[in-house]
Amino acid sequence: MADIDLKCKCGEVTGVATHITPRSGNRVVCCCSDCQAFAQFLGTEADTLDDAGGTELYQTSQSQVKIHTGHENLRSMRLTRTGLLRWYTSCCNTPVGNSMKASIPFFGIIHTFMDIKDKDKTLGDVRAYCQTQSATGQVDHPKAHPKFPLPIYFRIGRQLIFWKLQGKHKPSDFFDETGRPVAKPLIAKPLVANS
């Protein structure tokens, strides 16, 4: 079991992801156009996306992700009004992660926010290389899937139920007591015009 240091590019925002093992969460890569759009919104495509446009994440429970410094630099946005809440830092535009709402114990930490050396040992292998239908380059990964593979979908579903029973949606450094995001989400402008 490991604690993973979390850090934005400039070091203002730091934290830790606690009690992480390869089995405790899911290391995945997502090539969907929304994850790509988020990197584009921040202007961090080069650091965030791999050669096929994939974003690597480690999905865990909300209460396992703790912010220690730089809370005031946390920002959130949505690509659509009902989409995932996407977190980043205002100090240096580092992608932080994705969450749903306060009551759902889910947090996907984006690799750019993890300060981790032995990734394969700590997080395990990539369980799924998802949404390759939106990939922007050649995908040559053994776990590639055009959409989102069902076994992972069910695995996350089971984990969410388990985490919820354990109360792992709280405490959260991303939502206040009333369940509001600690930083009011921006709605990405070009998409608001279409909705």
**Interface residues toward Zn ion, by CB under 5 A:** 8, 10, 12, 30, 32, 35, 89, 91-92
Closest C-alpha among 193, 195, 188, 194 to residue 37: 188
- Residue 19: CB minimum distance to Zn ion, A: 25
- Residue 183: CB minimum distance to Zn ion, A: 14
- The smaller minimum CB distance to Zn ion, of residues 15 and 181, is found at 15
- Residue 90: CB minimum distance to Zn ion, A: 8
- Residue 84: CB minimum distance to Zn ion, A: 8
- The smaller minimum CB distance to Zn ion, of residues 64 and 131, is found at 131
- Residue 91: CB minimum distance to Zn ion, A: 3
Residue whose pair of structure tokens reads 């009011």 in the numeric block: 184
3-state secondary structure of 104: coil
Residue whose pair of structure tokens reads 């990197």 in the numeric block: 39
For residue 176, what are its two tokens?
Answer: 């206040």
- Cβ–Cβ < 8 Å for 113, 94: yes
β-pairing, 26-30 with 128-130? parallel
- The smaller minimum CB distance to Zn ion, of residues 10 and 187, is found at 10
**Ramachandran category for residue 93: left, alpha or beta (phi over 0 → left; psi -120 to 50 → alpha):** left
- Cβ–Cβ < 8 Å for 116, 16: no
- Residue 170: CB minimum distance to Zn ion, A: 26
- Cβ–Cβ < 8 Å for 179, 101: yes
- Cβ–Cβ < 8 Å for 145, 162: no
- The smaller minimum CB distance to Zn ion, of residues 10 and 161, is found at 10
- The smaller minimum CB distance to Zn ion, of residues 9 and 19, is found at 9
For residue 128, what are its two tokens?
Answer: 């799924």
- The smaller minimum CB distance to Zn ion, of residues 62 and 73, is found at 73
